A and B are shown apart, each in its own frame.
Chain A
Amino acid sequence: MFVFLLTDIFFYIIIFSIGLYIFYVRKTKDILETWKHVFRSRTGIISIVVLSFFLLIAILDSIHIKEKIYNEQTESFSYESEIKSVLDIILLPTYKNYEKSYSSPFSSNLYSKETIILENNIERRVYPKLLYKGNHNKYASDNTANILLTFIISLLKYFFVFSIFYLFFYFRIIFKSKNNIFIPFKLNKVFLMTLSIIVILSIFLYELSLQYYVLGTDKVGVDVLYKSIKSIRTGILIGTLTTIVMLPFAIFLGIFAGYIGGFVDDVIQYIYTTLNSIPSVLLIASAILMLQVYMANNPLNFENIYERADLRLFFLCMILGLTSWTGLCRLLRGESMKLREVEYVQASKTFGLNRFSIIVRHIMPNIMHIVIITIVLDFSALVLAEAVLSYVNIGVDPTTYSWGNMINAARLEMSKEPIVWWSLFSAFTFMFILVLFANLFSDVVRDAFDPRSNKNYE
């Protein structure tokens, strides 16, 4: 049975709107040109591929199901209360078992010694062997050799899969132009390279994590790699949902203020200056504290931990959105004020077009570039903000997988001796990759869309 969490629904809406936008862009010539500029840049294409991969994981992780269980005694079906996502099902073989406590990456033992009682009642302090992974090498008993072999096998698997796809999609081309079967490669080398690297890496990691804890385990023995992958959804949701929440406010209020002016302008300006004047961390903290109270007051609405955690995530996005829409609103207000005076807008006014259609037809399309630039720029900042907020305990629910929660837990691990570094390391790596490519992407997008940007120097 499919389950739709609140954030899922909103996430689908986002995906749907991205689809709509692509459809719209394909029909609109000048915007298509600008986007082509993005695709022509090497950084642009690499970051788009990487981000799409992250997005794909987030999408897979946002399709939730409940499994049916059959009850023999009552001969009826019921549903498990646990909710799984499609991603969970794909990854199931890698994470279903957990160890007792910490173990380091690729290790075969637990990280700390334990007392074991031998048969003759003698106690001994040893590093216990891991139960499920680390001692089950598939290809060679030596770890390095095994890892190498696993890599080669993943490469082979990749080429196998790749050639099937290749044949499937391009067999017509192959048959038509027999002399050159490498035409598809020429389509976009960078694109193909990036995609291949990502796919090979994923296969390799998957194969590896059937045999090892690639990034170790955490305090209660859960695979850290799994945790980091699950955190992708949280990061992306915070980055995108927030924007969706703030977008309608910002666009409509911004345009109204700028285009209509007068009293409406004053009121809207007052609202956003007031909100803007409060230091955002304090506003967020206040609102989250309030939310905790609300959720505790209405426990019956949130029986399921998933729903609770999900709602908190959703509210976090709402609150972040409420504090961040003001900047965009101000920009849009300024732009619409300028546009109001532009000749063709004035002309359509004299033609008797009503305000609404002027806004939709002339103003909206001309401020879209500002909206897009803001969305991509904000994305990375929001992903980073989540970590800091979780550190202050006003971020996502502690049961939600998120990099912020991982870092928060890692603070304690850093003082362990020898140091437990892998949780922090994985959170760092995953977050860094996502934010880095988001930043690079936003640079390219800004250069393409912003008429004032310094294109020539990039």
Chain B
Amino acid sequence: MSISLRVNLGGLEMKNPVTVASGTFAYGEEYDQYFDISQLGAVTVKSLSLRPRAGNPPPRLVETPAGMLNAIGLQNVGIEAYLKDKLPFLRKKGCTIIGNIYGHSPEEYAQLAQRLEAEGGADAIEANLSCPNVHDARTARGCSLVAQNPELVRQYTVAIKTATRLPVFVKLSPNVVDIVESAVAAQEGGADAVSLINTLLGMGINPETRRPILSNIVGGLSGPAIRPVAVKMVWDVAKHLKIPILGMGGICTASDAMQFILAGARAVAVGSYVFREPTAPMKIVQGLDDYCRRHGVADINQLVGAMAV
């Protein structure tokens, strides 16, 4: 039986539905030491900003039950160094590239998207409107991420869509009352897909020193600990959206990935687990093929949103 894993994610053709979550794969080179990264449906690069960013001071990372908390703060080389030093490797490998971008205003996002398109730096744009680690937790209250304000989500999406013809994915935050509202706003703004979920806000305190574990105090929780939350959010959003979903949050195995697909995700991203098991994304591609074979399904698209209730 020949199995097709090909999917179309809002205009982005992927040979299989598996990519990686931004920030867990850098720009691909390191993990190409462990498997041929061009086997992935797409490589999603670490958030790119107009200028290089040093990120937050250490400590930035701590292990948690079945996961980890991080407050990296979008340390990245900046878009120009990406285009010059990182992109040639990904292009030489023949990777499909999702360019994740982070800016401080709709104009900056638009500029980043334009630059990526002009230089062939990405095949689709993923707008990170939901990084929890780039504001000052000591003073911030309530809505401090763009993704927490549906009206801003719509405005930012319009600005990016106006700037580029590439497919635009909007990455949403789970740190909201109703993620469906954010997703609908992205769709209204013209997004071609939504990516969910970014990390859940969390924090840890060392009782001996009475100090926060992370220098940023708060961080983003990821890993299998958050998977049930993510699956549920994908399911909620899928019921209300016409555009496809890139699902992520604690995916470690093909069986985990299938939960997201059955809940309504067209494609999936492997996140923190790649740190533990560098070959996990490739194993998930193989595992999805096995799953389709075992279930007698010739085309994985038939399984999207196919949870039996």
The answer to whether A and B belong to the same complex is no
